[in-house]
């Protein structure tokens, strides 16, 4: 059998399927003659009768749910431009009687030597039952992150072609872990469900809400004119959740960190935009939580800098990048040095000088502060002991101790071991503890403070 005969039979069989499909309510068919701008439509899924539809673009604009339209057109253009081997798409349609249905489309150019025109054959299936859980989060019934990412790709392309601006608002519930640990996993699910319902009620037709993994949500604003509109949305969300959620006779207060990015100005790549939103959320958390941050270059630079600092801290000791600065305290009456305050400094080969005010909180957050603190303690005592051997006298040497370091059970034993190693009298050691640290520590480790006093530390 020749190739031409096979193609002819294939087209003939496809036409038979068309005629049979007319009797099945959940199937639709389309034939689009691209060269002649003609469209043949036979479908009962939407319930509409279509007149004056000449191409697939017009058809999609007529039937597709507005928030899915960008994605549907993007899928069509991907096929027409040769990016996919067939035309696949999945989207929602609004029927004539007001129902929302999910439709799966598969289309392909079928060759027919007797017809020189390019004709796209499209099969439509009603897949509402399957799609409700495939593209949606089962707990909240919101679209999930994977489906959201596909829709975002289409929205970005539309924004560029129509000179529009869109926005993403990434939302992270700050205190959800505490809620889960306090009330349990099932209660946490109720919180997520109630939160999503309330959040969704704040949004208009220009926005779409998606459920991301864990306690995270994403809002896509398809079109806006001024940044003040997005800021207003963020303030509206915070105002809403100033009031507690009522869950099983419990009042649950919600704290949120939010990050905002704009498309296409911040990026025209959907994955990069999500990353930028994540940067902004992290900056919100660093700034005290329960606030929103709009992504900009400074936010990105701050996040990348913090990431580098996190990765470089432990290597800094091995590379001898840390060093100590000894600040003398002078007795005015004798004009002699009475004590020395030990200050850690860091000169990194990538970032240059890094302030202790910047890297110490990061070291505490990442759990590196004990190693850094122990290095400072030993280096300071070793140097002070060497100075005493050379005849330099001072009343004390002052070392700052992190509250995390102070609370460790082995802190006293490490302190004594280092003093003994360098034959340094611990009575000459002054431990700097902030008032807040002292108050917090007294409640948990009164014994440590008492031991320090007995040791005659200043």
- Is there a contact between 373 and 355 (Cβ–Cβ < 8 Å)? no
Starting at the edge strand that comes first in sequence, how are the strands of the sheet with 292-294 ordered? Answer: 143-144, 207-212, 216-221, 166-173, 256-263, 292-294
Q: Is the preceding peptide bond at 120 cis, omega within 30 degrees of 0?
A: no
The predicted structure's pLDDT at residue 456: 52
Q: Could you tell me which of 31, 228, 258 has the C-alpha nearest to residue 124?
A: 31
For the chain, give the secondary structure using H, E and C: CCHHHHHHHHHHHHHHHHHHHCCCCCEEEEEEECCCCEEEEEECCCCCCCCCCCCHHHHHHHHECHHHHHHHHHHHHHHHCCCCCCEEEEEEEECCCCCEEEEEEEEEECCCCCCCCCEEEEEEEECHHHHHHHCECCCCCCEEHHHHHHHHHHHHHHHHHCCCCEEEEEEEECCHHHHHHHHCHHHHHHHHHHHHHHHHHCCCCCEEEEEECCCEEEEEECCCCCHHHHHHHHHHHHHHCCCCEEECCEEECCCEEEEEEEECCCCCCHHHHHHHHHHHHHHHHHCCCCCEEECCHHHHHHHHHHHHHHHHHHHHHHCCCEEEEEEEEEECCCCEEEEEEEEEEEEECCCEEECHHHHHHHHHHHCCHHHHHHHHHHHHHHHHHHHHHCCCCCCEEEEECCHHHHCCCCHHHHHHHHHHHCCCCHHHEEEECCHHHHHHHHHHCHHHHHHHHHCCCC
Query: Which residue ranges form the domains of the chain, and what is each CATH number?
Result: 3-132 (3.30.450.20), 143-295 (3.30.70.270), 304-454 (3.20.20.450)
pLDDT bucket at 264, cuts 50 / 70 / 90: very high
Alpha carbon distance 296, 266 (integer Å): 8
The predicted structure's pLDDT at residue 192: 96
The predicted structure's pLDDT at residue 19: 56
Q: Could you tell me which of 100, 107, 108 has the C-alpha nearest to residue 64?
A: 100
Question: Is residue 134's pLDDT more than 90?
Answer: no
More confident residue, 448 or 365: 365
Question: Span 230-237, mean pLDDT?
Answer: 97
Q: What percent of the chain has pLDDT over 70?
A: 88
Give CB contacts under 8 A, 24+ apart, made by 248-252: 248/187, 248/190, 250/183, 250/187, 252/179, 252/191
Question: Span 319-347, mean pLDDT?
Answer: 86
pTM above 0.85, yes or no: no
Question: Span 405-429, mean pLDDT?
Answer: 88
The predicted structure's pLDDT at residue 49: 84
| pLDDT tens-place string over residues 203-225 | 998 899 999 999 999 999 999 99
Alpha carbon distance 130, 134 (integer Å): 6
Q: Could you tell me which of 169, 152, 165, 156 has the C-alpha nearest to residue 260?
A: 169
Question: Is residue 11's pLDDT more than 60?
Answer: no
The predicted structure's pLDDT at residue 106: 92
The predicted structure's pLDDT at residue 2: 42
The predicted structure's pLDDT at residue 131: 61
Among 362-366, 372-376, 440-444, which range has the highest average pLDDT?
A: 372-376
More confident residue, 140 or 3: 140
pLDDT bucket at 447, cuts 50 / 70 / 90: low
- Is there a contact between 339 and 395 (Cβ–Cβ < 8 Å)? yes
pLDDT bucket at 72, cuts 50 / 70 / 90: very high
Ranges 184-198, 253-267, 345-359, 418-432: which has the least confidence: 418-432
CA distances from 329 to 335, 344, 359, 430 (A): 10, 17, 25, 13
CA distances from 8 to 5, 14, 32, 113 (A): 5, 10, 18, 8
The predicted structure's pLDDT at residue 128: 83
Ranges 107-116, 229-238, 282-291: which has the least confidence: 107-116
pLDDT bucket at 457, cuts 50 / 70 / 90: low
pLDDT bucket at 3, cuts 50 / 70 / 90: very low
Among 105-109, 259-263, 335-339, which range has the highest average pLDDT?
A: 259-263
Within 10 A of 423 (CB to CB), how many other CB atoms are there?
10
More confident residue, 411 or 173: 173
pLDDT bucket at 444, cuts 50 / 70 / 90: low
pLDDT bucket at 112, cuts 50 / 70 / 90: low
pLDDT bucket at 436, cuts 50 / 70 / 90: very low
| pLDDT tens-place string over residues 366-377 | 889 999 999 999
Distance of CA 376 to the CA centre of its chain: 36
| pLDDT tens-place string over residues 149-189 | 999 999 999 999 999 999 999 999 998 988 988 999 899 99
The predicted structure's pLDDT at residue 451: 54
As a whole number of angstroms, the longest Cα–Cα distance in the chain is: 113
pLDDT bucket at 39, cuts 50 / 70 / 90: very high
The predicted structure's pLDDT at residue 117: 84
pLDDT bucket at 448, cuts 50 / 70 / 90: low
């Amino acid at each position: 059998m020749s190739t031409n005969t096979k193609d002819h039979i294939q087209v003939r069989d496809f036409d038979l399927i068309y005629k049979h499909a007319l009797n099945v309510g959940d199937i639709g068919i389309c034939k689009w003659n691209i060269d002649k701008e003609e469209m043949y439509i036979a479908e009962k899924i939407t319930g509409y009768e279509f007149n004056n539809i000449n191409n697939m673009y017009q058809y999609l604009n007529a039937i597709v749910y507005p928030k899915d339209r960008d994605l549907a057109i993007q899928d069509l253009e991907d096929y027409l431009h040769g990016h996919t081997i067939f035309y696949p798409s999945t989207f929602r349609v609004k029927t004539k009687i007001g129902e929302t249905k999910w439709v799966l489309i598969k289309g392909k150019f079928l060759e027919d030597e007797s017809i020189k025109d390019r004709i796209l054959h499209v099969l439509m299936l009603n897949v509402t039952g399957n799609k409700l859980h495939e593209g949606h989060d089962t707990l909240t019934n919101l679209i999930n992150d994977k489906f959201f990412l596909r829709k975002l790709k289409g929205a970005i392309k539309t924004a560029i072609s129509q000179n529009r601006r869109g926005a993403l608002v990434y939302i992270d519930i700050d205190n959800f872990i505490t809620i889960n640990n306090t009330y349990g996993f099932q209660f946490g699910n109720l919180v997520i469900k109630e939160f999503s319902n309330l959040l969704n009620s704040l949004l208009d037709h220009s926005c779409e809400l998606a459920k991301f993994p864990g306690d995270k949500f994403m809002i896509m604003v398809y079109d806006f004119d001024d940044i003040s509109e997005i800021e207003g949305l963020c303030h509206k969300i915070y105002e809403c959740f100033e009031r507690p959620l009522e869950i099983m006779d419990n009042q649950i207060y919600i704290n949120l960190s939010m990050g905002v990015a704009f498309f296409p100005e911040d990026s025209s790549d959907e994955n990069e935009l999500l990353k930028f939103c994540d940067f902004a959320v992290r900056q919100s958390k660093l700034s005290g939580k329960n606030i929103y941050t709009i992504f900009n270059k400074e936010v990105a630079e701050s996040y990348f800098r913090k990431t580098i600092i996190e990765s470089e801290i432990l290597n800094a000791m091995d590379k001898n990048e840390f060093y100590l600065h000894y600040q003398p305290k002078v007795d005015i009456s004798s004009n002699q040095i009475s004590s020395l305050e030990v200050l850690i400094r860091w000169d990194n080969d990538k970032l240059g000088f890094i302030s202790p005010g910047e890297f110490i909180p990061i070291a505490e957050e990442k759990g590196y502060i004990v190693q850094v603190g122990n290095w400072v303690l030993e280096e300071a005592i070793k140097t002070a002991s060497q100075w005493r051997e050379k005849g330099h006298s001072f009343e004390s040497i002052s070392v700052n101790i992190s509250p995390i370091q102070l609370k460790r059970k082995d802190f006293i034993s490490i302190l004594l071991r280092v003093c003994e190693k360098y034959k340094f009298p611990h009575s000459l050691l002054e431990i700097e503890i902030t008032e807040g640290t002292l108050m917090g520590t007294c409640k948990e480790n009164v014994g440590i403070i008492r031991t320090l006093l007995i040791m005659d530390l200043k």
